[in-house]
Amino acid sequence: MELTTQLIERKPIERLRESITTTPGRMRLLAVLIALSAVGAGVVTATAATARKHAAHAVAAQTEPLLVEADGLYASLSDADATAATTFLTGGIEPVARRRRYVSDLRSATSELSTLSHQVGNDPVARAAVSTVVAQLPVYSGLVETARANNRQGFPIGAAYLRQASDLMRQTILPASGRLYALEARRLASDYGSGVSTGTYVAVALAGALALAVLIVSQLYVALRTRRVFNVPMLVGSLILLGVVVWTLVGFSAEQDALSRAQRKGSDSVEVLSATRILTLRAEGDESLALVARGGGDQYVADFSTVNSVLGHTGGRGLLSEAAGVSRQTGSAKSFAGFVSLLARYRNVHGRIAAFENSGEFGDAIKLAVGTRAKEAPLADRLNASLGAQIAVAQRRFRQAVGDATAALRGLSFGIPVVVAVAGVLALFGLFQRINEYR
Amino acid sequence: MRGRRRHLLVFAWLALAGVTLAGCGSTSNDAMRASLRALQTPTPSTASTKKPEPKVKCADATASLRPIGALQSHGRMPAGSFMSAIQRRGYLIAGVDQNTLLFAYVNPFTGRFQGFEIDLLRQIAKSIFGDPNRVVFKAVTTAQRLPYVQRGRVDIVADAVTMNCYRWREVSFSTVYYDAGQRLLVPKNSRVRGLGDLAGKRVCVTEGGTAFKYLAAYRTAHPRHHPIASPRPQSTDCLVALQQGRVAAIASDDAILLGFARQDPYTKIVGPRFTDEPYGMAISRSHPDLVRFVNAVLARMRSDGAWSALYRKWLGSVAGPQVLPKARYRD
């Protein structure tokens, strides 16, 4: 018993002792380390590159387009609410252009809804939000049509139907679409986060440094033991490995830079401008609904001033100052300043309308708001057009930057394993040249 | 030597990478947070803060100030009177409702006020100026009716104001120009004849209105069999609720119900009146001369058939015949 155990156990122990004490043994050990560290570096680098590529690709192809759809839905519904109220205010014979705008709002909302319902995935919040909008939108449009039919007969009950439609829109449909929008905005932020994660960067740098250190130590050992200063294959392998690490990190850095540009110059603009557009539309709806209620619309008057203060001023604390900051970052300060001056004119006209309302002169207030020589409605249209154009430009900036981000990582996840394998094989080849000399 | 140099190279590169990492590559969610916060702005609450009117007793809430002498011919208002001040201004300022079909509403096609109350006010303008169009109508809400009179923002209000003892402390009233009362509006095929048939059913009332208070009192009196009051912020919201089948009936002033029945031919007004709502025109307490003047105009319209003509014009097709109740005076 004792003898056999010793016989069996002696061999591996001796082999181990041999590999630690003799030069070729140590070289073999180094070969194993080189192979392991090269495979490790290759796997870590390729995995990190793939993770980043996925994140950048998700931003470009999924989350941002979905955010744009969610924003489109939110804006279409807000515009439908404002347009329905303004159209109602113009009386029984409604302007064809306004009617068309309302119908086209509903059409785009429906198309955005169908895209979203296919792509939001299985998130329960998103599914619930989509199904709320899907279920309530027909109810809403039914109420608007009933309001129109009564208005055409000159019946005051039309205004009550419009109020109910708008309440449904503002208390049920818009909040659901807002939840959807917030969800998509947070998803985008988290994809940006994984696209620029420090973890992948550090992992690649550490794995690369480790593999290089093993190679350098091996070469130093070989140089000391064999008196041959240069081992060409090992040197080339080391340089290739260094090249791969640098290539990856430079690629990461360029991708990171492009992604952060996509956010700062693209989607930040889109988000801030979209929020501004939705709030502006809400204020326009408030103005019309207050006039439709003819003195009975205190809640709309209050909502107008709340929304107005949330928008604030470019120099103050509100959304406009945030948007102004973003526009300076993106070099679009000029077009934003155009919007701000339009808004100032709109607010000025609103002040005159409010003064008419306060003194019970609704006829004059309505004339100023939507009459044939109205001041307010054309300004509101220009506000929306200006924001729409700026959002489109921001969207183009986003597309370009996010294209740069995916381009920066092109070829990495395929190239890294191949090149690292070549470097590893070269290094091992060089080492085995020396090991074989001991036979 | 070479190894150390390579080490240096790697360290230099890592340092460079660190700088890059900390510099341009970061992302920030400030813009997203600001946008989402702005979008979550809640709509202000619409809870009404209307205080209930205290109950006050007086001899006769429908009794007004007696006209003095015969009605002056137009254009010759007594010097120093409020009417002569109105005449110098050039127009009468009247506060009216604008959502009650038949009584006072804006014609959406012309943008002009029209209705029974509007024509009554035109008669007063005619008596001052000889021209029924010398009147500027200002739309007032229910809450604004009496404060506007008190603060002098309007000369007179004809907006379905029920005369009661408490309101007499705030304003003066003309004699009764329309004798309204609370009734029920139901779908045409309904068998409901009164509140007794509505036990356990929803009945729409305007928030803070007289019908709301009446239903609360009815519930106390009939704890087992009573309708469920379903309040809505504005009176027209009740017709929407009835058309959508959310309520079985609407309880309101018959003056308002007449306009509802006119807007929806599939409804009918049923049952006896369960309250009396005598409407008077509200005038500031500091202008008793205008109160007496308006009462003289109403007295003349009663005697020469002008009131009945107006009644037939606006309400004859939907309401049964009514005569203007006899004027009651307190002095």
Contact flag A311-B38 (C-beta cutoff 8 Å): yes
Give how far the C-alpha of residue A277 lies from the chain's centroid of Cα atoms, to the nearest Å. 18
Site from A294, A336, A368 to mutate, B interface, most B CB atoms within 10 angstroms: A294
Considering CB atoms only, which of A238, A264, A303 is closest to B44?
A: A303
Query: Using CB atoms, which residue from B9, B36, B240 is nearest to A157?
Result: B240
Residue B76 has pLDDT above 90, yes or no: no
Identify the closest residue of chain B to A199 by CA–CA distance: B21
* Least reliable range by pLDDT among A36-40, A410-414, B107-111, B279-283: B107-111
DSSP class of residue B78 equals P
Q: B27 vs A193: CB contact, 8 Å cut-off?
A: yes
Q: What is the pLDDT of residues A274-295, one digit of tens each?
A: 999 999 999 999 999 998 887 7
On the CB side of B240, CA atoms within 13 Å amount to 25
Which pLDDT band, with edges at 50, 70 and 90, does B27 fall under? Answer: confident
Question: Terminus-to-terminus CA distance in chain A, angstroms?
Answer: 36
| Cβ atoms < 10 Å from Cβ of B54 | 8
Rounded to a whole number, what is the distance in Å from the CA of B200 to chain A's nearest CA? 25
The DSSP string of A90-153 is T-SS--HHHHHHHHHHHHHHHHHHHHHHHHSTT-HHHHHHHHHHHHHHHHHHHHHHHHHHHHHT
Interchain pair B17, A201: CB under 8 A: yes
Q: Which residue of B has its CA nearest to A159?
A: B236
C-alpha dist (Å) from residue A392 to A266, A417, B316: 10, 40, 60
Q: Is B95 at the interface with chain A, CB within 8 A?
A: yes
Write the residue in A272, A299, A311 that is nearest to B44 by C-beta: A299
DSSP result, B198-234: GTTSEEEEETTSHHHHHHHHHHHH-SSS-PEEEEESS
| Structure confidence at residue A226 as a pLDDT band (50, 70, 90) | confident
Contacts of A205 in chain B (CB under 8 A): 14, 17
Residues from chain B contacting residue A93 (CB–CB below 8 Å): 109
Coil, helix or strand at residue A107: helix
Mean pLDDT for A248-277 is 91
Picking from A226, A262, A276, A255, the residue whose alpha carbon sits closest to that of residue A386 is: A276
Tell me if A303 and B43 make a contact (CB, 8 A cut-off): yes
CA B53 to chain centre: 16
Kindly determine whether residue B26 and residue A275, on different chains, have CB atoms separated by under 8 Å.
no
CA distances from A360 to A8, A296, A297, B145 (A): 107, 11, 13, 12
What element of type H or E holds B129? helix B116-129
**Residue B198, phi then psi, degrees to nearest 5:** -110, 20
Residue B127, number of CB atoms within 10 A of its CB? 23
Bridge partners (DSSP) listed for residue B184: B251, B270
Distance from CA of A292 to the nearest CA of B (A): 10
How close B305 comes to chain A (CA, Å)?
29
How many Å apart are CA A63 and CA A189, to the nearest integer? Answer: 9
Question: Does the pLDDT value for residue B190 go beyond 50?
Answer: yes
* Spatial distance between the Cα atoms of B14 and B257, rounded to a whole number of angstroms: 83
Q: In angstroms, what separates the C-alpha of B134 from chain A's closest C-alpha?
A: 16
With an 8 Å Cβ cutoff, are A275 and B39 in contact? yes
Residues facing residue B203 across a β-bridge:
B229, B249
Chain A: closest CA distance from residue B49 (Å): 12
Of B13, B31, B100, the CB nearest to A271: B31
Q: How far apart are CA A45 and CA A244, in angstroms?
A: 9
For B46-72, the pLDDT digits (tens) are 555 566 677 888 889 999 999 887 676
Q: Which of B161, B141, B96 has its CA nearest to residue B122?
A: B96
CA B284, B287, B288, B294: dihedral to nearest 10 degrees?
-80
- Kindly list the strands in the beta sheet with B172-173, ordered across the sheet, starting from the edge strand earlier in the chain: B135-139, B92-96, B156-157, B282-283, B172-173
**Six token digits for residue B205:** 């009332």
Q: Give pLDDT, residue B22.
A: 44
Which one of B26, B32, B185, B263 makes the best mutation probe of the A interface by having the most chain A beta carbons within 10 Å?
A: B32
- Whether B259 has its CB under 8 Å from any CB of chain A: the answer is yes
- Classify residue A22 by its DSSP letter: S
Nearest CA in chain B to A149: B263
**Cβ contact, residue pair A93, B109, below 8 Å:** yes
Closest by CA position to A396, among listed A272, A265, A258: A265
How far is B319 from B309, CA to CA, in rounded Å?
14
**Which residues in chain A are closer than 8 Å to B26, comparing Cβ atoms?**
196, 260
Angle at A37 between CA A35 and CA A40, to 5 degrees: 105
Q: What is the pLDDT of residue A1?
A: 45
Distance of CA A111 to the CA centre of its chain: 21
Residue B4, pLDDT score: 57
Nearest CA in chain A to B143: A296
Query: At B73, is the secondary structure helix, strand, or coil?
Result: coil
Contacts of B39 in chain A (CB under 8 A): 178, 181-182, 275, 278-279
Give the A:B interface size as CB pairs under 8 Å: 176
> Which one, of A311, A293, A352, lies nearest residue A89 by Cα?
A293
For B10, name the nearest residue in chain A, comparing CA atoms only: A209
Q: Identify all chain A residues contacting B7, using CB atoms and an 8 Å cutoff.
A: 216
The string of DSSP codes covering A244-288 is: HHHHHHHHHHHHHHHHHHIIIIIIHHHHHHHHHHHHHHHHHHHHH
ipTM of the complex: 0.82
Q: What mean pLDDT comes out for the span A118-122?
A: 84
Give the confidence band of A92 by pLDDT, cuts at 50, 70, 90. Answer: low
Which chain A residues are within 8 Å of B98, Cβ to Cβ? 156, 294-295, 362
What separation, in Å, do the N-terminal and C-terminal C-alpha atoms of chain B show?
122
Check residue A8 and give its pLDDT. 53
**Above 90 in pLDDT, residue A197?**
no
On the question of pLDDT at A44 being above 70, the answer is yes
Question: Hey, what are B255's tokens?
Answer: 């003056």
Q: CA of A153 to nearest chain B CA: how many angstroms apart?
A: 9
Which of A356-365, B97-106, B229-238, B302-311 shows the lowest mean pLDDT across its residues? A356-365
Distances (CA, A) of A300 to A305, A366, B54: 9, 15, 30
- Best residue in B8, B43, B99 for a mutation probing chain A (most A CBs within 10 Å): B43
The two beta strands, B113-114 and B172-173, are unpaired
The C-alpha atoms of residue B133 and residue B135 are separated, in whole angstroms, by 5
With cut-offs at 50, 70 and 90, classify the pLDDT of residue B23.
very low
Q: Which residue of B has its CA nearest to A280?
A: B39
Model confidence at A182, pLDDT cuts 50, 70, 90, reads: very high
What mean pLDDT is predicted for residues A243-263? 89
User: d(Cα A336, Cα A346) in Å, to the nearest integer?
Assistant: 15
pLDDT average, residue stretch B279-301? 95
d(CA A84, CA A99): 8
- Note whether B197 and B274 are within 8 A (CB): no
Phi/psi region, residue B315 (left: phi>0; alpha: psi -120 to 50; beta: rest), is alpha
Look at B99 and A151 and tell me if their CB atoms are within 8 Å: no
Chain B residue at shortest CA distance from A274? B35
The pLDDT value given to residue A108: 95
The whole-angstrom separation of Cα B290 and Cα A33 is 109
Helix A124-152, helix A64-89: angle, nearest 10? 20
Q: How do residues A60-82 score in pLDDT, each as one tens digit? A: 888 889 999 999 999 999 999 99
Closest by Cα among B261, B264, B314 to A149:
B264
Which chain A residues are within 8 Å of B99, Cβ to Cβ? 156, 159, 294, 296
Mean pLDDT of chain A: 88
Closest by Cβ to A154, choosing from B6, B100, B108 = B108
